[in-house]
Amino acid sequence: MAMKIALIGYGKMGHMIESIALQRGHEIVCIIDQNNLDEFESKAFASADVAIEFTTPQTAEQNILRAWKAGVPVVCGTTGWNVESLKQQLLHNSIQLLHHTTPSLMWSSNYSIGVNILFALNTQLARFMKSYSEYTPHMTEVHHIHKLDAPSGTAKTLQEAIGEERLPLEAIESIREGEVPGIHTVTWDSEVDSITITHSAKSRKGFALGAVIAAEWMKGKTGWHEFSEVVFSHE
């Protein structure tokens, strides 16, 4: 079913999301970037079924709050900010909005379907490894030179499943080079063998497609949601 989508952030990801949304039959009713923030107050923005937000760690939370004030649910892909605080407020119904509607947010450190399958594999592998102290985990993440946060949000999600005791956050190796869309590799190494799982993105298209699929899934929903609900909804 066709949706009205607002875009918050109009960089490379914003342009790609726009293209995919139009291909899937949706309408882009509003585009907000740093130079037209007053559009949050517009009728066009308020008419959106959902907003897709890809901006910066410094602006993400304020953008989400502005969208909620307009009664618009948000799919957010910005990493490197304190999303946990907003999540807890949502889960405990402690956010007060002027129009008395229930806010709605989906956040993910990565909207690639493949990466979310990697998350599930990583979590299961980490569970197995709790019984095998002879294995030491290592993680490397590689991204383009324009990525602002390091380690990446995806790497942090992988690290959380492994645990701080086995893999401290500062032990993650972050590499920034060229225009690499994203490579994440987790290796469990012992004296006798190694186990490696990796995901290598071929382009940003997978992230953009996942964000649009998430927006389609979010229509009419309230509260806090994660992209894994979408990826594994057919189980």
Q: Are residues 31 and 135 in the same domain?
A: no
Query: Which residue in 26, 143, 184, 225 is the catalytic one?
Result: 143
- CATH number of the domain within which 117 lies: 3.30.360.10
Mean pLDDT for the stretch of residues 107-114 = 92
Asked whether residue 101 carries a pLDDT value surpassing 70, the answer given is: no
Asked whether residue 222 carries a pLDDT value surpassing 90, the answer given is: no
Q: Are residues 103 and 49 in the same domain?
A: yes
pLDDT at 235: 53
Mean pLDDT, all residues of the chain:
92
12 is catalytic: no
Q: Are residues 141 and 213 in the same domain?
A: no
Q: Are residues 35 and 137 in the same domain?
A: no
Residue 224 domain boundaries: 4-111+205-231
- CATH number of the domain within which 32 lies: 3.40.50.720
**Count of the separate structural domains present in the chain:** 2
Q: Are residues 11 and 102 in the same domain?
A: yes
Q: Are residues 105 and 11 in the same domain?
A: yes
Residues 113-153: tens digit of each pLDDT:
999 999 999 999 999 999 999 999 999 999 999 988 899 98
Angle, helix 113-129 to helix 205-218, in steps of 10 degrees: 90
Mean pLDDT for the stretch of residues 8-25 = 96
Q: Are residues 103 and 209 in the same domain?
A: yes
pLDDT at 99: 52
Confidence of residue 76 (pLDDT cuts 50, 70, 90): very high
Confidence of residue 82 (pLDDT cuts 50, 70, 90): confident
What Å distances lie between residue 222 and 51, 104, 186, CA to CA? 13, 4, 34
Confidence of residue 18 (pLDDT cuts 50, 70, 90): very high
Asked whether residue 91 carries a pLDDT value surpassing 90, the answer given is: no
Q: Are residues 107 and 118 in the same domain?
A: no
Q: Are residues 211 and 164 in the same domain?
A: no
Q: Are residues 175 and 216 in the same domain?
A: no
What Å distances lie between residue 109 and 33, 78, 100, 154, 207, CA to CA? 21, 7, 29, 5, 10
pLDDT at 140: 98
Confidence of residue 223 (pLDDT cuts 50, 70, 90): confident
Query: Which residue in 4, 26, 147, 184 is the catalytic one?
Result: 147
Q: Are residues 24 and 76 in the same domain?
A: yes
Q: Specify whether the CB–CB gap between 66 and 38 falls below 8 A.
A: no
143 is catalytic: yes
Q: Are residues 81 and 118 in the same domain?
A: no
